[in-house]
Amino acid sequence: MIYADATDDLNSVIDGAGPIAGLFFLLLGIAIFVIWKSMNRQLKKIDPNLPPGRADRRRMADEHYTEEAEARGAAQAAEAAAAETPKAGSADVAPKSSEESTSADG
C-alpha cells in the first residue's frame, strides 16, 4: 500500500503542473513573438547604402583571391591535360598481347 500512496502523490503533482506548464509555454511563445517583431523593426532601420566595413573588405579580398586561385587551377589542369594527350606525329607502340610475347620468345 505504500507504493500506491507514492504513485497517487506523483500523479497529483504531474496533474497540477499541467496548467502551470501550459501558461509558461504560452508566455514563452508570446515573448518569442515580441522579440521577433522587434528584431524585424530594427533590421528595417539599417541603411543598405552604408559604406563597406573592415569585414566586408576582407570578404571581398578573399573572394578575389579565391577567383584567382580557381583560374590558376583551371589553367594548370588544362596544361596537364594537354601534356597527357599524345601528339599526332608521335609513334604509339601498342602493348603486346600475351600470345604475341610467347610466340616471339620461343
Per-residue model confidence (pLDDT) at position 4:
56
Across all residues in the chain, what is the average pLDDT?
79
Element (H, E) at 15: helix 2-44
**Poorest-pLDDT segment among 7-11, 69-73, 87-91:** 87-91
Distances (CA, A) of 102 to 93, 94, 95: 18, 16, 13
CB–CB of 47/39 below 8 Å? no
Residue 1's pLDDT band, with cuts at 50, 70 and 90, is very low
CB–CB of 60/52 below 8 Å? yes
Q: Is the pTM of this model over 0.75?
A: no
Between CA 35 and CA 43 the distance in angstroms is: 12
